[in-house]
Chain A
Amino acid sequence: QQIQEDMNKQLLDSLVSFLSRSHSDFREKTTEWTCEMKFREIPTAALVLGVNVTDHALTFRGLSDVLQDNITPYVALLEAKDCPGIKNLMQKLMGQLMSCDVDVDSLEDEDGVQVSQNRIRCSMASLISWYESVTKKTDSETPSKKRNSSSRHWQSPPVVVIFKDMESFTTKVLQDFIVISSQHIHELPLVLIFGIATSPMIIHRLLPHSVSSLLCIELFQSLSCKEHLSTIIDKLLLTSQFPFKLGGKVLQVLINIFLYHDFSVQNFVKGFQLCIVEHFYSQPLSVLCCHLADIKKRAYSLSHDQCENIRRLPSFRRYVEKQESGKQIELLTNDSFLKEETEKLLEDIHVYHENYVSILRCLHVFTSSLPKYPLGKQIRELHCACLENRVWETEEYESCLQLARMLNKTDLVTMLQQCVEILMSSSGKKFDKTVGKLKGFLTQFQDLEAEASQERDVSISSQKELQRKTDLYHLQKTLLELKESRRSKKLTKFEMLRFEVVDYIDRLVRKYLVPADDRTLHEIVYFNAAAVLRGHLNAAPRTALHTALNNPHWYLRNQALKCDGGGISNKAPDICIVYKLHLECGRLINLVDWLEAFSTVVMAAEEPNADAASSDHVDDIIHARFIRAVSELELLGFIKPSKQKTDHVARLTWGGC
């Protein structure tokens, strides 16, 4: 378990670092620009980041880090929730700027600025005086020392203020801040950066013209979240480096959540993390899910129980059944033999992954350029399709092949070249032959080109012949002949070659893109519990409540509760009965009627002892039970007390009336 957790952490770290890396190129662009824009009014950068708000925090953190490293030590990150008024905003701003200044100065043992932040009168004037003192200090006192620590910093570094979520700032605060700071721009080189989630139009909607004219806005578009997703999938799933893999359904669930719910890369990563945790937690054999180098060691350290676990895996059973009887017995009884075999199988899986990825990319090269994208435009769709079932048995694949058979030459050649590149770059050594074959195809195409020019001559000559024969009969005859010949020799050399290429690709696909479920021991490496994942990430509390209320049998396995046709027995828990009764009512519910109906139902359920002498006591109990059930419904938010009519409650849900 310990090892597993370590591995998890490693993975998470790599994920996070990757995510920030993916932002870096975009960031560099920004930084360059901010350098150029120093001496205008208030230089402002508007970053359009898209709707995946949750990912922004990471972007901004990275951005401020880069800015701090490369341009200026004075960066302040402001969030709307911290700044309900201009005063808070200034306070926050000062605090952040001063503290980062302290960071720089701490090398030189300066504590002049380190006044308790709360005491400072926060105003632009104090900010400016602070700024002047700081810049003077850096200029005069220890220029030599400063140079090496911040050699890339400018002589008078700009103060960068980042507004993380511009939309949620109150307009007044923003306006005030901009107006004030524009008056001080000569003393204080200020640069604003707005983070925008929706569209750049929002700036003009939030700020009146008089204010926005004070800004000099440049627009930046960040990478869309879809691209992030595909790079993440590329780097995480379509490599053989990570031993852990996602099953088809799981991947589908994750992608669906991403596309249909939040567009948040962070959430996708979270889901992926959850998958890893679940896998290592629930699958006892996941010890073996590790890098190739460790497999041998771990396989040998397997205990007897774990060996038994391996034998119990369905895929392994299938494998055993295929072996001859001697080996079967050996596999089922001899632990050490089993370990060796397991190791071999796991290595097989590893090799399979390497091949799989490269061939998948090749196939993607082909399918992504076909009209209408029968197998999807993105490689992830193709990946899902391949994971789920044999891709060559699907209709889409058929149509793909048919379309591929109609590709023109230039496309085909470029695709083949791309394939060769992919295969060359992949680590698997098995592809030498394939590469050779594909290269052969390429040279054949080149040969064809040479031939084609000759052919053209031939056809021209035949047409010349055609022109010579002028009488009608001959013309007709030759035309017919031509037609005939064309039909028969439909397959030119190019076409033949094309067929060959497509068939070859098809063969490759059939060989390497076998769905993972068919591999032995795939359970160790693949995580397939999509339902669990869905339950944890995309839960439906309402549905759970609804089933619990409507069909208590689903949770409480008691025969008395079971009833046909989705009805509910009168022995159900009180709250279910009360709920069912309230469904029959309209907007308002009369408590007396409700109570009466309830007691009718409950009495019917307890018929045998209802005629006992202590009917009054029973009545009280029923009353109490009713009260409890009603207040529970109130807690759950189905009803609320109403003042419209005495002793009535209002229904808060709608649908039953």
Chain B
Amino acid sequence: MSRPEGTRGSRCCLQVKFVPDEDVLKHIADDAGAKVRKDKAQLSASVKRFVKKLENISDNEAQEILEEKKYVATLGIHAQDPMGNGSEISGGEVYSFQTPKRSNKMAELASELAQTPEKNVAPDHSKCPEKMARIPQSSKEMFLLMHVFSLLFQHKKKEFVSTTPYRLRRRLAAPDSYLESESEYSASCSEEEEDEEDQKEVSTDQKTPAKTKAASTPPPRNSLAKKVKEQKMANLVEEYFEAHSSSKVLTSDRTLQKFQKRRLNQQTLHDLLKSAPLAYAAEIRDLNQQHESLFSKWMLQLHLGFNIVLYGLGSKRDLLEKFRTSLLQDSVHLVINGYFPSITVRSILNSITEEVLDHIGTFRSPLDQVEFITKRFKEDSSLELYVLIHNLDSQMLRGERSQQILAQLSSLPSIYLIASIDHINAPLMWDQAKLSLYNWLWYETTTFNPYVEETSYENSLLVQQSGSLALSSLVHVLHSLTLNARGIFRLLAQHQLEKKDNPSYPGLSFQDFYQQCREAFLVNSDLTLRAQLTEFRDHKLIRTKRGADGVEYLLIPVDDSTLTNFLEKEDEDV
């Protein structure tokens, strides 16, 4: 159950603790007798309340129907707006709701606002000027929305105080589905100026699934969920699976390619970021100074057999570097950049044995190596080693075995480990045994520093990396080839582009290709074609694969967009 936390981290953490607590309490029932009794008392109390709630249910339902009417009404009003007064007024209406007096109103507000961002995103192809006018507005709306959501969360935290959250959530569920309908609706946004009847119909349509959803879950459970956290969890679980059950995800279909913006490559990105001023530099510096004041304490605790792990938002690299330069200058230390994509435990161990212990020779397995290191460190008590690991939770070091080995290393009394973690699920790497080997002391060091180094090795979606390279190399290589060879490649590329919609396209079979080449008078025998293909393969322009039937398939290992660009360029040249 720890997966779906994330956004409401603090609250969910509480819950996650809560459930095992009960289990544990059962285990130690004789031990913590008083506590169990208290719990029981609470439980019974909640059961009582639950009974009371059952009585109230009919009452509630009536109220809910009433609210739903109101909700539909507001939808109607909202639908009127864009037609009548344009976006300005709708914003004004939003503001009028901003001071919620009753919690019900807030729910309405939430639903109202939930539609707005979708609105200003979807229909902008046709109406650029309008969109421009809307920009500041929409940002405000966005924040209002956030505001509401956070209020909502606060409410949920205080759930046993008021009965509203449940209703709020149901509200939320409703606008959610409404949202989807909205996006569908706005996909055909040219008919936005329809009459309000239609819109209402859509909304009521969407309403019914939401309602059936609520009805499908047994009513007593729902009402209990208002009160008891666990039930709440169950409800959350339901929502989770609801969200993940539908294989179809409704998002807009726009892609970055249609988006008129050139992709940035790593270098320009870096330059651009350098030119952009870092916000709140002074505050960040203060924050870092606070952490730096802890350095001597860290030293003491490292020497007392603890190991230190740093967590919190922001790159902790600079902090650790500073620690290193200020305190570890005169001692043997090893810095491990965990974020480096090709780091392995083996390389870490090798650097210990070869550079720290001056041992020449290889080991059969990492376990042997660890044993050797352990022995050396035990024999020679004057040996001391500080190990600094940036990003202990990186892709390469995450594995069970590497963590085990690192933990064993860190448990040596003369190896002092100080590491940083960033991933939200990083603590899940360690089980009890490893935790006790590591003997962590946790330090929160939120720095807000950008993760410059750490992310530079990642293949970000937005950064154009291999694409530009591939294109330039394609052009480069092909220019050095004969005209016929270029023609052969073009043929293959065109064929591949034709089949780009077929995800299981295996490639062009050699025989077919030969036929096509012959028809285009590019080759005269399959030997020449093979020679040509070998040359392509040497330049990594194509890849050959043997299919299940033994036929050779040819494929250009470049993504479609690059290929299109390439063909366009070729056309220009010709």
List the interface of chain A (C-beta within 8 A of B): 5, 8, 53-54, 81-82, 226, 259-260, 262, 264, 266-267, 270, 273-274, 277, 281, 372-378, 381, 535-550, 552, 555-558, 561, 565-571, 573-575, 580-581, 583-593, 595-597, 600-601, 603-604, 607, 619-621, 623-628, 630-632, 634-638, 641, 644-649, 652-657
Interface centre among A262, A589, A624 (most CB of B within 10 A): A624
Chain B residue nearest in CB terms to A385: B34
B444 close to A (CB within 8 Å): yes
Instruction: Report if B327 contacts A (CB, 8 A).
Output: no
Contacts A54-B435, A539-B311 given: A625-B273 contact, CB under 8 Å? Answer: yes
Cβ A544 vs Cβ B142 within 8 A: no
Closest 5 CB pairs of A and B: A653-B6, A539-B442, A546-B9, A54-B436, A548-B313
Q: Which residues of A contact B8 (CB under 8 A)?
A: 546, 655
B262 smallest CB distance to A (angstroms): 9
Binds A, one of B57-65, B296-304, B476-484: B296-304
**Docked pose: A566 CA to B156 CA in angstroms:** 14
Q: Are B9 and A656 neighbours in the complex by a CB distance under 8 Å?
A: no
5 more contacts with CB within 8 A, not counting A539-B442, A556-B448, are: A226-B31, A539-B444, A581-B142, A592-B258, A646-B257
Q: Is the CB of A281 within 8 A of B254?
A: no
Instruction: List the A residue with the shortest CB-CB distance to B278.
Output: A573
Per-position binary interface string of chain B over residues 153-188, scored 1 when its CB falls under 8 Å from any chain A CB and 0 otherwise: 110000000000000000000001000000000000
Q: Indicate whether B565 reaches chain A with its CB closer than 8 angstroms.
A: no
B contact residues around A373 at 8 Å (CB): 33-34
Q: Is B127 an interface residue (CB 8 A)?
A: no
B residues in contact with A604, CB < 8 Å: 135-136, 139-140
Contacting pair A592 B256 (CB below 8 A): yes
- Which of B69-77, B422-430, B512-520 touches A? B422-430
- The number of residues on chain B lying at the interface, defined by a beta carbon within 8 Å of a beta carbon of chain A, is 107
Main secondary structure of the interface of B (DSSP, over half): helix
| A259 neighbours in B (Cβ, 8 Å) | 24, 28, 31-32
B residues 515-568 touching A (CB-CB < 8 Å): none
Give every chain B residue within 8 A of A273 (Cβ-Cβ): 304
Q: Is the CB of B7 within 8 A of A583?
A: yes
Stretch at the interface among B12-20, B85-93, B486-494: B12-20
User: Which of B34, B121, B253 sits near A597, CB closer than 8 Å?
Assistant: B121
With A548-B313, A558-B283 as contacts: A567 and B146 at CB distance below 8 Å: yes
Q: Residues of B contacting A372 with CB < 8 Å? A: 33, 37
Question: Is there contact, CB below 8 Å, between A558 and B280?
Answer: yes
The CA-CA distance from A542 to B287 in the complex, in Å, is 19
Q: Which B residues lie within 8 Å of A589 (CB)?
A: 251
Q: Are A634 and B458 in contact (CB under 8 A)?
A: yes
Find out whether the CB atom of A593 lies under 8 angstroms from the CB atom of B251.
yes
Check if B83 is an interface residue, CB within 8 A of chain A: no
Give, as a whole number of angstroms, the nearest-CB distance from A281 to chain B: 6
Shortest distance from the beta carbon of B320 to any chain A beta carbon, whole Å: 16
By beta carbon, the residue of chain B nearest A267 is B436
Q: Is the CB of B448 within 8 A of A277?
A: no
B261 engages A623 (CB within 8 Å): yes
In the complex, whether B196 has a CB less than 8 A from a CB of chain A is no
Q: When the two chains form their complex, are residues A600 and B135 in contact, meaning their CB atoms are under 8 A apart?
A: yes
Write out the residue numbers on chain A whose beta carbons fall within 8 Å of the beta carbon of B102. none
- Contact mask B276-291 → A, CB, 8 Å, 1/0? 1001100110110000
1/0 per residue, CB under 8 A from A, across B1-43: the answer is 0011111111011000100110010001011111001000000
Instruction: Tell me, yes or no, whether B306 is within 8 Å of chain A by CB.
Output: yes
B442 touches A535 (CB 8 A): yes
In the complex, what distance in Å separates the CA atom of A5 from the CA atom of B140?
A: 57
B348 to chain A, nearest CB (A): 18
- What distance in Å separates the Cβ of A556 from its nearest Cβ neighbour in chain B? 4
Contact bitstring B443-478, A, C-beta under 8 A = 1, else 0: 110101011001100111111000000000000000
The answer, yes or no, to whether B204 is at the interface (CB within 8 Å) is no
Considering the chains assembled together, what is the distance between the CA atoms of A648 and B250 in angstroms? 12
Contact call A653/B446, Cβ cutoff below 8 A: no
B312 at the interface (CB under 8 A from A): yes
A-B contacts, 7 listed (Cβ < 8 Å): A274-B306, A378-B31, A541-B421, A590-B252, A607-B136, A626-B462, A638-B424
Task: Provide the residues of chain B in CB contact with A607, threshold 8 Å.
Answer: 136
Q: Flag if A583 contacts B149 (CB, 8 Å).
A: yes
- Given the known interface contacts A631-B460, A655-B12, the answer about A8 and B304 at a Cβ–Cβ threshold of 8 Å is yes
The reply to whether B367 and A82 contact each other, CB–CB distance below 8 Å, is yes
Looking at the complex, which one of B236, B259, B404, B455 makes contact with A628 (CB distance below 8 Å)? B455
Does A653 lie within 8 Å of B4, measured CB to CB? Answer: yes
User: Contact: B256 with A544, CB < 8 Å?
Assistant: no
Separation in Å of the B235 CB from the closest CB of chain A?
13
Q: A597-B117, A620-B272 are in contact. Are A632 and B421 (CB under 8 A)?
A: no
Q: Closest approach, in angstroms, between the C-beta of A170 and any C-beta of chain B?
A: 15
B325 in the interface, Cβ–Cβ < 8 Å? no
Chain A residues lying within 8 Å of B244, measured Cβ to Cβ, are 587
Q: Identify B458's interface contact among A376, A626, A631, CB under 8 A.
A: A631
User: What is the minimal beta-carbon distance from B258 to any residue of chain A, in angstroms?
Assistant: 8
B328 on the interface (CB 8 Å rule)? no
Chain A residues within 8 Å of B34, by CB: 373-377, 381
